[in-house]
Structure 1
Amino acid sequence: MAVALKPAFAPRPPPQSGGVDRLESSDCDTCGARALSVCGAADDPDLQRLGDLAEVIRLKSGAALIREGEPAPHIFNITSGSLRVYKLLPDGRRQITGFLFAGDFLGLAIGETYVFSAEAMEASTVCRFRKGPFRVLVANSPPLEHMLLDRTSHELAAAQNQMLLLGRKTAIERMASFLLDLPGHDPTRPSAPGHVRLPMKRGEIADYLGLTIETVSRVLTRMKVKGLISIPSQNELIVERPERLRQHASGEL
């Protein structure tokens, strides 16, 4: 029997306004996310200019980086940790649209105001750039411009995959797809084969997959009983039968 797909979202508390520390400068040479981010395409002179433009922000778990509806003067590059990106409906329901990790850029396709909110799921660091100077630098650096175009194309593909995930897949197919896809988004913290880090809570997974938290718990238990996964802790999961999980993700079972 298929698991019910009724998306029910509980009203969420406002994000924490504290927990944000700002530093004056960045050190691109020691940044662990450099090779994975747009900055990796910059040659030494452009990298120096990027470093001069960047303001490093340290976020505590739960702290808000940006809020929906606020003026959007900045672009962000995540250098460590992880963030949840979401939109709120007028009645307080939340739809998480993505989880971002080191190397991800935020705000590339934003207008004059932020159309979503972003909060830290754990202690995180972010480089912040003012849009105007950043765009001038990119316009004069073909490698950076090419990398940004490539990132934008990947974001569009990810949005299309998310539409498919929410629109056509069953609950177990959504969860299987999520668990198989998640490790590839956090390459600065590699884990043993089959191990999946879960910095997000069960409710956040539910809000991302368009399910209830009860359905998420039920599907994970069902997978565990079938021997597809094991759950050593709330923040870690092990895929025991990857081929079987892939069959669930593709709808073959």
Structure 2
Amino acid sequence: MARLQTTPAPGETLRAHCPGRRPAGAVDCTSCRVRHLAVCSALPEAEVEALESVVAPLELIAGSTLVREGDPRRQVYTVTAGALRLVRLLADGRRQIAGFLLPGDFIGLSGATTHRHDIEAITDSTLCRFRDEDMQALRADFPDLERKLLARACTELDAARENLLGLARLNPMERLAAFLLDLAERRARWAGDAVDLVLPMGRADIGDHLGLTIETVSRSFTRLRQQNLIAVPDAHTVTLLDRAGLARLAHGG
């Protein structure tokens, strides 16, 4: 007699591959403060156990490296605390920072088999780590997760295009204004809106991201301060005094 073939319920394939027991030190996904930002929010509450069965926490100290450019891409990550940078060294030895990763950001959204950048912790950071095959199983079981990953990829592509446009068209002060507003918007999603913006990265990191020297970055901060658009209480804090003025500047106004 032929065996009746049935379609497994959502999460069944994953749980069969990785039975639902938490590894030692596993995280509690239901209490994660950035879950609403992360791609895993696409999973229904009833299936959180499927997620918890395959996730492992990872802690990085400031200055440590998560992966190197060219390393095989075997795992994916969600940042839950801290800040990281995507770094590539150019042929002439200059450093280029392609972007900064903040809580809620997903690492590993790529069709490449190897990592394209060094990924370094700017501050002490925590991440949720998934094996790539476990994430693929989740994507197969939960179409909403696949759709959310696609939406995240489109958002990142749009952001990359905006950054390239800014590098090509905006002057240094305009680039810095756009960067500060973007960072403030991203932080507000998980830390709440605030006048004071804490910068996890230093002036050299900002310069290597915006294509500016550290001296130009410092002068641009000074000019924004002189125009009463920002205040700078200390090296890692910027008070946004006039967001509308910064926005006009960021759009080349």
TM > 0.5 between the two?
Answer: yes
Matched residue, 2:83: 82
**Structural mapping, 1:117-196, within 5 Å:** 117-186=118-187, 187-192=189-194, 194-196=195-197
Can you give the 5+ residue segments of structure 1 that lack an aligned partner in the other structure?
Answer: 1-22
Matched residue, 2:6: none
Deviation at 1:128, TM superposition (A): 1.0
Matched residue, 1:207: 208
Greater Cα offset, 25-34 or 209-218: 25-34
| Structure 1 contact 26–52 (Cα < 8 Å) conserved | no
TM-score by length of 2: 0.86
Distance 1:248 1:30 in 2: 39
Deviation at 1:91, TM superposition (A): 3.1
Determine helix, strand or coil for the equivalent of 1:158. Answer: helix
Distance 2:115 2:102 in 1: 19
Determine helix, strand or coil for the equivalent of 1:111. Answer: coil
TM-score by length of 1: 0.86
Matched residue, 1:232: 233
| Structure 1 contact 100–185 (Cα < 8 Å) conserved | no
Distance 1:185 1:110 in 2: 25
**Structural mapping, 1:6-45, within 5 Å:** 24-45=25-46
Determine helix, strand or coil for the equivalent of 1:36. Answer: coil
Determine helix, strand or coil for the equivalent of 2:116. Answer: coil
Can you give the 5+ residue segments of structure 2 that lack an aligned partner in the other structure?
Answer: 1-23
Distance 1:110 1:201 in 2: 31
Q: Percent identity?
A: 41
Determine helix, strand or coil for the equivalent of 2:139. Answer: helix
Deviation at 1:98, TM superposition (A): 0.8
Q: Do structure 1's residue 107 and structure 2's residue 102 form an aligned pair?
A: no
- The residue type paired with residue 58 of structure 1 is E
Q: Based on CA coordinates, which of the two structures has the bigger radius of gyration?
A: 2
Q: How many pairs are equivalent?
A: 230
Distance 1:190 1:233 in 2: 21
Matched residue, 1:242: 243
Aligned-pair Cα RMSD in Å: 1.6
Distance 1:226 1:44 in 2: 49
Deviation at 1:90, TM superposition (A): 2.8
Matched residue, 1:14: none
Deviation at 1:24, TM superposition (A): 4.3
- The residue type paired with residue 148 of structure 2 is M
Q: Which has the higher contact order (CA 8 A, sep 6+)?
A: 1
Cα distance change of structure 1 residues 110 and 62 upon mapping to structure 2, 3 Å threshold: farther
Query: Following superposition, which runs of at least 4 residues in structure 1 exceed 4 angstroms of deviation?
Result: none
